[in-house]
A and B are shown apart, each in its own frame.
Chain A
Amino acid sequence: MMPDWIITAILVAIKLGFVLALLLTGAAYLVLAERKLLGRMQLRYGPNRVGPFGLMQPLADAVKLLMKEDFIPAQGDKVLFFIAPGIAAVTALITFAVIPFGPPLRLFGREMPLVVCDLNIGLLYFLGLSSLAVYGIALGGWASNSKYALLGSIRALAQLISYELSMGLSIVPVVLMARSFSLTEIVNAQTHIPFALLNPPAFLVFLISVLAESKRTPFDIPEAENEIVAGFHTEYSGMRFGMFFVGEYINVIILSSMVTVLFLGGWHGPLLPGIVWFFGKVMLIAFLFIWTRGTLPRFRYDQLMHFGWKVLVPIALLNVVVTGAILLLLQG
């Protein structure tokens, strides 16, 4: 019989491998799905040349990005220019560690929770990393020594910190209702009814803030291509651009997962196995992201800041107080 810790180590290694493979292929195919769906929404085919139905397109893209020339603009800050895309990719990759993607599994006669690491402060870990991700954009834009990059990164900074506020405030009611920071506990608190139904204002504020946090249409002002070329990654080429890109799409997956975990009841659902429910819900939210991109035009910058500070923050704050009062009344 193998010692206990070896089995634990093997199980953790399997989970790590699964999560990493899932995130990287998921991000690659999310790009393809987005291009296909946007194509259909605009009455085009989308990519369909590489492999059957264009299914090998992500592979071709990766090879292309790897073969491209990788240069640093003159007068750019070399060290920061190197580090910035790394921060973007690494923060995105390690956030998924605390997200539970299925009910505990029984393997080798022991319970295995389907989460890489069930931290009791999982929610704070997610918030901390989403704040850290801002550094990748700030440093990348500043180190490029390009006006468009700097403008894009300043815009992105102000937008990200503004919407982080409403995102953080809209999570407080969830913590109030679940009484825990552990994401597994939060999912278990929604066994009977998801928090999206119990507290729709928090759900809506969180969904909108998440859309803004992912820097996608209608909040894609940091990279508004017809104003400032490509924003903070204007000067990036090759695989370094690829890392910003991968980070962005992994972020979409993670934010969709957070919506699922915090408000849609995670893996809970009738009939089908939990893991199917979880990824079904995540894909639904990811589709919503793509759908809004195909539907809505871009905000103006002043509209964006007004909306964040004058609409979302007051609603979220009021919602915290109201939720607290109702919970207090229910307790008696």
Chain B
Amino acid sequence: MLDSYLPIIVLIGIAVGFAICTTIFSRLIGQKKPTEVKLAPYECGMPPVGSARERMSMKFYIIAMLFIVFDIEAVFLYPWAVMFKKLGLFGFVEMGVFIAILLVGYIYVWKKGALEWE
């Protein structure tokens, strides 16, 4: 079990090492002349106004919630897809009912206007 994952663990180690080494190396040979203006957040040459950690539109939260609902649906579809032949007609009808229930939710979300961006 574990030895089939060993190459991936080694690869993760190499990738992390690559990321850390290049960062350190570029810090060592790069120049360092920080000034106050240079370190200020970029706003097209204007002096920065206010904080950058603003509140954002509600839309994005709704999208995130919808994503969770429908992504979990996709997660349930995968095991069904792999066992499709064994589950046969029973599994197909069962999955049809499941998708139909979610479809009702999808139509509700659409009609409520959660997918509109005006």
Residues of A within 8 A of B (CB): 12, 15-16, 19-20, 65-75, 82, 85-86, 89-90, 93-94, 97, 116-119, 124, 142, 144-150, 154, 157-158, 161-162, 164-165, 168-169, 172-173, 175-176, 179-181, 229, 234-235, 238-240, 242-243, 301-302, 305-306, 309-310, 313-314, 317, 320-321, 324-325, 327-328, 331
Contacts and interface: CB of A to CB of B under 8 A. Distances in A.
A119 B51 CA distance: 46
A165 B39 CA distance: 38
B103 A317 contact: yes
Contacts of A72: 39
Given A67-B31, A168-B74, A324-B92, A179 B110 contact: no
A277 B42 CA distance: 46
A154 B30 contact: no
Pick the most buried of B25, B43, B44: most chain A CB atoms within 10 A of its CB: B43
Contact of B92 (A15, A20, A144, A328): A328
B8 A116 contact: yes
Contacts of B16: 86, 90
Closest 8 CB pairs of A and B: A302-B117, A239-B26, A175-B81, A146-B41, A93-B15, A86-B19, A168-B74, A161-B67
Given A116-B7, A242-B22, 8 more contacts: A74-B40, A142-B53, A147-B41, A168-B71, A172-B81, A179-B84, A302-B116, A320-B81
Nearest to B26: A239
B26 A12 contact: no
A302 B57 CA distance: 13
16 contacts: A15-B7, A66-B29, A85-B23, A86-B20, A89-B15, A93-B15, A97-B8, A124-B78, A148-B42, A158-B64, A161-B63, A176-B81, A309-B66, A309-B115, A324-B92, A331-B85
Contacts, number: 200
Contacts of B23: 70, 82, 85-86, 239-240, 243
A72 B40 CA distance: 9
Interface of B: 4-8, 10-12, 14-16, 18-20, 22-23, 25-27, 29-34, 36, 38-44, 51-54, 56, 59-60, 63-64, 66-67, 70-71, 74, 77-78, 81-82, 84-85, 88-89, 92, 95-96, 99, 103, 106, 110, 115-118
Contacts of A124: 78
Contacts of B20: 86
A164 B38 CA distance: 37
Nearest to B35: A71
Contact of A328 (B40, B88, B110): B88
